[in-house]
């Protein structure tokens, strides 16, 4: 009975380790990072009818910089 309990613990630990590794690999894939960054800064790209052209350009520059920072692309 003791051997069965040890085997269950090993199986559970191995399964959790495998699932954690798979999750982190998929979560940190470039496609998923890009999707998260786009969703995070999508609100910055929405144009209100009341904003001026200058203010809209500033908002786009800010959103672009935030997106590049989120993607981990160095800015100059």
pLDDT at 57: 77
Return the pLDDT at 19.
94
Confidence (pTM): 0.52
The per-residue pLDDT for 22 is 92
* DSSP, res 47: P
pLDDT at position 37, please?
A: 79
14-32 residue pLDDT tens: 999 999 999 988 888 888 8
Which pLDDT value is given to residue 61?
78
Identify the segments of the chain with pLDDT beneath 70.
Answer: 1, 43-51, 75-76
Q: In the 8-state DSSP scheme, what is residue 76? A: -
Alpha helix stretches (DSSP H) within the chain: 2-27, 30-41, 53-71
CA pair distance 16, 8, nearest whole angstrom: 12
């Amino acid at each position: 009975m003791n051997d069965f309990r040890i085997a269950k613990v090993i199986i559970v630990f191995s399964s959790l380790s495998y699932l954690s590794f798979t999750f982190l690999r998929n979560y940190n894939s470039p496609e998923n990072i890009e999707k998260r960054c786009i969703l995070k800064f999508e609100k910055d790209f929405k144009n209100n009818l009341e904003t001026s052209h200058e203010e809209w350009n500033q908002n786009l520059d800010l959103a672009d910089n935030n997106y590049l920072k989120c993607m981990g692309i160095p800015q100059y």
